[in-house]
Structure 1
Amino acid sequence: MTEGTHANLDDLLQSGGIRLGRAQRQRLDWLTGQYGAPTLDDSGGIRHNGVVILKEPPSGAAAELFYRSLNPASAVVIASSENPGFDFLKSKLTEFGTVGPCGVDGPHEMWWGGIGWSKFHAAAAACTLRPRVVSCYPRGSDAAAAFALRHSLERFGLASHIEPIDAQLGDRLLCFEKAEFMLRMWNRYREPLLFVEAGAVLREAPLLPCFLGCDVALHKWNRWEMSARTLYIGRTSAAQMLLRTWQHLAASYPAIWEGYLLDQAWSLTSSQVPLDTVWLPRSYHALAGDLGAMRATVLHGEQTTTLDLGPDPAFAGLVRTARRAGRTGARDAFLVMTSKAEADKGIAVILRDISATNAGAVAATVEAVTGAYAADCGGYGRLELSLCAWQDDVGAAREAATQARYRILEIAPGQHIANDFFAHHAADDSVMTARHLFP
């Protein structure tokens, strides 16, 4: 990007009141380099080429017209995509990725998508950076599947590491065994890692994640449930944090299926660092017998079972809507900030009714809360901000905060948040404590 283009983009973001953190800005710069100069559209108007940055969600017929005006030479960026008002438009587009909030400097989640992957597939073929493909399987099981994977890797000249490991269940790997293997590979090799199940074969060189330059890339089965069958881990501190969080959760809860643990690791990591995630297309998670299997990049031989998707059918309702839109749900903290206060106490702020308010008001309130905490934390060592669309969501967020023994504050979009917001409530806590001790 030239200096003049960079300055023009600065002016555009400033005119729209859009705040982006460094990681989000780097992704937007990359998109501008791929698609051309961006335009700001806060009404869902008609655009045909380049990068379109949306501030407000179009609804109904406007969303349909906006979608129809796009083509493969268009990209859509939603700068505050944590708002569920954008979910309808997202459902019509191809979801490329998300970049998590960047603290007070960029306190929103950025979503980017478009019309199909064709543009990126063609460009990725020329990518010179290549991942190391890693895989593991239970020791003593049939090694024929691993041999088939290794043979397919040799066709593309890709570096690899495939090994048998001791498995507690004998013929099946548990999540913590896979996560520990991945962490060991992270420490051993310097290339980006692409984990592929041993029962898979490669039909094309899997260069898309390296070309996109993300922290992590994975596929969402049925658009909402995260799969660990194909998992890319870049050589970044954010990617390492995700991997370590996944390993820790898997070791702590060995009986829980890997998709849910990966989902929770993603949510925790995204709330604390600006994790740059790419949601891989189905071609990286194709199953033998699929209609699109002939166009697969990674072809898995075994069908997905309830052991992969989770044995609890009610679990889907907890995260399905949010994950299909590439965002965290109400039960997960959207943003976590820490302070230099030498205190273990934390505070949970619940922003309610976000579906009933325009996106600008919700975004402004998020910025006011994070700005107030950065200005004066009130002695709270940790802030967790949750966004809730419905009253049931508020109840779930309250329950989670209560279990963590956090001070809980519930606010509404548009509510005035002064710079001493947290200090004021900390003072109230002190008064209440004094009254309790000395009635």
Structure 2
Amino acid sequence: MTQAAGLQVNLEQLLSSNGIRLNASQRRRLKWLVERLGGATIHQGGSAPARNSGVIIVLEPPSGPAAEILYRSLRTDCALVIPFGENPAFDFLKSKLTDFGSIGPSIDGPHEMWWGGINWRAIAPDDGARTDAPLRVVSCYPRAYGDDHARPLRETLAEFGIAHDIASIDTADGDCMRASEKTAFIQRMWRAHREPLLFVEADATLNEPPLLPSNLDCDVALHKWNRWEMSARTLFLGRSAAAEALLHNWHHIATAYPPVWEGYLLDQAWSLTSSQTPLDTVWLARSYHAPAEDAGTPRHTSIIHNLPTDNADLGPDAEFGIAMRTARRASRSGGRDSMIVLKSQATATDAITVIMRDIATSDAREVAASIEAVTGAFAADCGGFGRLELSLCPWQDDIRAAKSAARTANNQIIEIAPWQALPADLFRTVGQSREAGSVVVMAGQRG
């Protein structure tokens, strides 16, 4: 047996023996991490991980003191993986670590997988490294800025020997570029070229070749300013159907809401896409989104953006996204978003929303098992519904918001708790008394 085959067998045994369901994208990322960092182990609550563990899988959220012990015991060259990353009970542990990435759920792995660590150094390319991975840098700017606006970026890319396509475009608002105009340009570049694309603002400065995104082989890579505020100034798109879906959704939403800030529109497109497909997202280090004030400091910088010192153009409205900040800091969908959206073989356009409450008082395995029961029941018998939308709602405000959104979409609604047993014909039974906006609350007491 080859070493690669042995690695695959060991991983499969580890996942199977611990009841961990991962989809194909999540398994590929876990295997990628093990190949780079070393063997995977399951974290046992209350104990420090073995010193030779390269990848540590956490199945239950640790208490505050236990999270501190775990954090202090981690090596800088290891990664921590949470297979049930959709559960807000893991948020505190995540807050102590650096987000590396997340991968959305699907029918064959109905959970969000989160991965992170101490810092990017263990995974980032070595200083002065080169890569054979294909990459094309693209950028655009309003024609009103003139031809010299992107000259420094062009010259730097030529010096690094990186293929690029930078163009001035006509804009409706003169020297202000709308999100819909930017996304339309990126879509043109997507159709014109076959390489993965790295969009960089035309007034950015590159200190070194931007190798990290293409080395990660992900669907999308971007930076979250303040850990929640998605920025479109540096955006990598891999050549995948999931990346294309994100780009399509972003352009569609941007066209529908032209006055809205592009980062918020990208956030909504990410939430939608990651709920419908296992989107492999990498959260880029600040070195790929450094403001000008970082230049010349000890902080390592790869891409420096011409940002004002107050960074006001990241989010022009300081109140934007308050409801989603906690979730985005933890790289997951919020309770007001659909965590997973599944389509059935039915020709009907009717959708059903399942709201899972009481997740804050249930353990991670219980919540995970309930998610799997809901998605499994829908896959076995959709009850004639064309789409399932599942939301995890830890708080009453989230439940009210999820119900309001479902009623607006004329969805039927089922409200359940993780500890409730679900009948195999759940969706068939509810579908027989179909009434848009109606709510079915599953009865039963905790055993």
Aligned pairs for 1:341-380 (under 5 A) are 341-380=346-385
Cα distance in 2, alignment partners of residues 346 and 236 from structure 1: 27
Give the corresponding residue for 2:41.
Answer: 39
Give the corresponding residue for 1:384.
Answer: 389
Q: 1:411 aligns with which of 413, 416, 439?
A: 416
Stretch of structure 1 that moved more, 365-374 or 419-428: 419-428
Matched, 1:106 2:109: yes
Give the corresponding residue for 1:9.
Answer: 11
Aligned pairs for 1:244-323 (under 5 A) are 244-290=248-294, 292=297, 295-303=300-308, 305-311=311-317, 313-323=318-328
Answer whether contact 1:293 1:299 (CA < 8 A) is retained. Answer: no
Matched, 1:27 2:32: no
The secondary structure found in structure 1 opposite 2:434 is helix
Aligned pairs for 1:88-107 (under 5 A) are 88-103=92-107, 105-107=108-110
Q: 1:232 aligns with which of 224, 236, 244?
A: 236
Give the corresponding residue for 1:437.
Answer: none
Give the corresponding residue for 2:77.
Answer: 73
The verdict on how the C-alpha distance between 1:211 and 1:44 changes in structure 2, with shifts beyond 3 A counting, is farther
Q: Which amino acid in 1 is paired with 2:372?
A: E
- The CA RMSD measured in Å over matched residues stands at 1.7
CA offsets 1:148-168 (integer angstroms, 9 cap, x no match): 111121221111111100011
CA offsets 1:157-186 (integer angstroms, 9 cap, x no match): 111111100011101100000000000000
Cα distance in 2, alignment partners of residues 11 and 302 from structure 1: 49
Answer whether contact 1:22 1:102 (CA < 8 A) is retained. Answer: no
Aligned pairs for 1:109-258 (under 5 A) are 109-123=112-126, 125-258=129-262
The number of aligned residues is 430
Cα distance in 2, alignment partners of residues 305 and 3 from structure 1: 48
CA offsets 1:255-283 (integer angstroms, 9 cap, x no match): 11100100000000000000000000000
The secondary structure found in structure 2 opposite 1:251 is helix
Q: Which runs of 5+ in 2 are unaligned?
A: 439-447
Q: Which amino acid in 1 is paired with 2:276?
A: Q
Cα distance in 2, alignment partners of residues 395 and 260 from structure 1: 22
CA offsets 1:238-295 (integer angstroms, 9 cap, x no match): 0000001101111111111100100000000000000000000000000111275862
Cα distance in 2, alignment partners of residues 193 and 22 from structure 1: 23
The secondary structure found in structure 2 opposite 1:310 is coil
CA offsets 1:293-321 (integer angstroms, 9 cap, x no match): 8621001123265443132x332321100
Q: 1:40 Cα shift?
A: 1.2
Answer whether contact 1:130 1:207 (CA < 8 A) is retained. Answer: no
Q: Which amino acid in 1 is paired with 2:385?
A: Y
Q: Which amino acid in 2 is paired with 1:36?
A: G
Q: Which amino acid in 2 is paired with 1:302?
A: L
Cα distance in 2, alignment partners of residues 18 and 192 from structure 1: 31
Cα distance in 2, alignment partners of residues 284 and 149 from structure 1: 15
The verdict on how the C-alpha distance between 1:401 and 1:310 changes in structure 2, with shifts beyond 3 A counting, is farther
The verdict on how the C-alpha distance between 1:44 and 1:407 changes in structure 2, with shifts beyond 3 A counting, is farther
Cα distance in 1, alignment partners of residues 155 and 300 from structure 2: 19
Q: 1:121 Cα shift?
A: 2.1
The secondary structure found in structure 2 opposite 1:112 is strand
Q: 1:421 Cα shift?
A: 1.0
Cα distance in 2, alignment partners of residues 210 and 293 from structure 1: 25
Give the corresponding residue for 2:67.
Answer: 63
Q: Which amino acid in 2 is paired with 1:265?
A: A
CA offsets 1:42-70 (integer angstroms, 9 cap, x no match): 52531133111111011111000001110
Matched, 1:336 2:341: yes
Cα distance in 2, alignment partners of residues 165 and 254 from structure 1: 17
The verdict on how the C-alpha distance between 1:401 and 1:236 changes in structure 2, with shifts beyond 3 A counting, is same
The verdict on how the C-alpha distance between 1:201 and 1:420 changes in structure 2, with shifts beyond 3 A counting, is same
Cα distance in 1, alignment partners of residues 15 and 332 from structure 2: 22
Q: Which runs of 5+ in 1 are unaligned?
A: 434-439
Answer whether contact 1:199 1:302 (CA < 8 A) is retained. Answer: no
Cα distance in 2, alignment partners of residues 152 and 397 from structure 1: 48
- What is the TM-score of this pair, normalised by structure 2? 0.93
Answer whether contact 1:219 1:280 (CA < 8 A) is retained. Answer: yes
Cα distance in 2, alignment partners of residues 310 and 409 from structure 1: 37
Give the corresponding residue for 1:436.
Answer: none
Q: 1:199 Cα shift?
A: 0.9
- What is the TM-score of this pair, normalised by structure 1? 0.95
The secondary structure found in structure 2 opposite 1:386 is strand
Q: 1:18 aligns with which of 17, 20, 24?
A: 20
Stretch of structure 1 that moved more, 284-293 or 224-233: 284-293
Answer whether contact 1:227 1:259 (CA < 8 A) is retained. Answer: yes
The verdict on how the C-alpha distance between 1:352 and 1:42 changes in structure 2, with shifts beyond 3 A counting, is farther
Q: 1:11 Cα shift?
A: 1.2
Q: Which amino acid in 1 is paired with 2:305?
A: H
Q: 1:130 Cα shift?
A: 3.7
Answer whether contact 2:294 2:301 (CA < 8 A) is retained. Answer: no
CA offsets 1:1-38 (integer angstroms, 9 cap, x no match): 62222112111111111000111111111111111111
